[in-house]
């Protein structure tokens, strides 16, 4: 392949959107209220739409006869590069919101940088995505406040979700070899540089929501290298079902 680093890099970004989009899609018809149900699927739709743009581009970069569907449905678990945070299950609504917010803040900071990429296609996808992700963050942030500063039970559940998910936040800023290569070419985003803004923004909102950032010495990593949590296999079983059962089916 002409540019293996770029190909991997695009997949790394796209897989985050794909997997989170799939998680939110699972909620379709199962949201706690009609409005939140619709919100979840709308956000999912945006994320899957972004994924399609990335995969179409990756297919082109690959120089092979690949389609966006091949990339989405025919890879093995170890070939998915998404961070662990986005594959965590929909344990309860507070959990869904915490996962969403912790990713949205990163996602927006990331796209804000990616729009200055020397790669024109990535820059265009980022600019489009910024408009959508700002709206996602507004939604998830509002719900963090509402639930954190809500009833005793909602507060407790929200804090528990944040405590649980916080261990996956450091991976967002981990640099893979592809990340490093792309940064050196002026294409990729220097992730550690986003860390401080991320931490500041999340702390501020959590404290507004009467929630705390947990003290944690150890973090979980692995997703960016294809080593996923046990939840990933189940997610892919769902995601890939049609293509695995009826290979090459189209509709």
Partner 1 sequence: MTIELHPNIDAHLIEVLETVSDPEIPVLTVLDLGVIREAVEKEGVIQIKLTPTYSGCPAMDVIGDDLKSAFAKVGKKVNVDLVLAPAWTTDWISESGKRKMEAYGIAAPLEETADKEALLGNKRIVKCPQCGSTNTHLVSQFGSTACKALFKCDDCLEPFDYFKCLK
The site for partner 1 (CB under 8 A) is made up of 34-35, 38-39, 42-43, 45-50, 52-53, 120-121, 123-125, 127-129, 131-132, 135, 138-139
Q: 127 or 155: whose CB is closer to partner 1?
A: 127
What kind and span of H or E run contains 203? Answer: helix 195-208
- Min separation Cβ 45 and partner 1, Å: 4
Burial class (CB in 10 A: 0-12, 13-18, 19+), 219: middle
Q: 46 or 178: whose CB is closer to partner 1?
A: 46
Q: 145 or 167: whose CB is closer to partner 1?
A: 145
Cα–Cα distance, 108 to 46 (Å, whole number): 14
Is the sign of the CA dihedral 193, 172, 41, 46 positive or negative?
positive
- Min separation Cβ 131 and partner 1, Å: 5
208 Cβ neighbours under 8 A, 6+ residues apart: 145, 149
Cα–Cα distance, 131 to 229 (Å, whole number): 31
Cβ atoms within 10 A of the Cβ of 24, count?
26
Q: 39 or 147: whose CB is closer to partner 1?
A: 39
- Min separation Cβ 41 and partner 1, Å: 8
Q: 76 or 249: whose CB is closer to partner 1?
A: 249
Angle at 115 between CA 204 and CA 131, to 5 degrees: 60
- Min separation Cβ 16 and partner 1, Å: 14
- Min separation Cβ 124 and partner 1, Å: 4
């Amino acid at each position: 392949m002409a540019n293996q680093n770029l190909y991997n890099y695009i997949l790394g970004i796209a897989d985050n959107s794909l997997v989170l989009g799939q998680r939110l899609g699972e909620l379709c018809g199962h949201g706690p209220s009609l409005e939140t149900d619709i919100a979840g699927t709308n956000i999912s739709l945006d994320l899957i739409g972004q994924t399609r743009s990335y995969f179409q581009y990756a297919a082109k970069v690959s120089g092979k006869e690949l389609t966006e569907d091949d990339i989405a449905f025919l890879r093995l678990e170890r070939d998915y590069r998404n961070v662990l945070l986005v594959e965590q299950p929909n344990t309860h609504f507070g959990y869904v919101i915490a996962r969403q917010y912790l990713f949205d803040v990163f996602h927006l900071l990331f796209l804000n940088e990616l729009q200055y990429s020397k790669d024109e296609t990535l820059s265009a996808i980022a600019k489009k995505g910024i408009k959508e992700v700002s709206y996602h963050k507004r939604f998830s942030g509002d719900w963090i406040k509402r639930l954190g500063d809500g009833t005793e039970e909602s507060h407790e559940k929200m804090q528990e979700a944040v405590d649980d998910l916080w261990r996956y936040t450091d991976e967002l800023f981990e640099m893979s070899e592809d990340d490093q290569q792309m940064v050196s070419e002026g294409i990729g985003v220097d992730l550690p540089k986003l860390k401080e803004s991320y931490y500041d923004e999340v702390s501020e909102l959590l404290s507004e929501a009467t929630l705390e950032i947990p003290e944690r010495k150890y973090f979980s990593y692995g997703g960016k290298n294809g080593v996923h949590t046990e939840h990933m296999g189940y997610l892919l079983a769902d995601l890939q079902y049609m293509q695995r059962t009826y290979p090459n089916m189209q509709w």
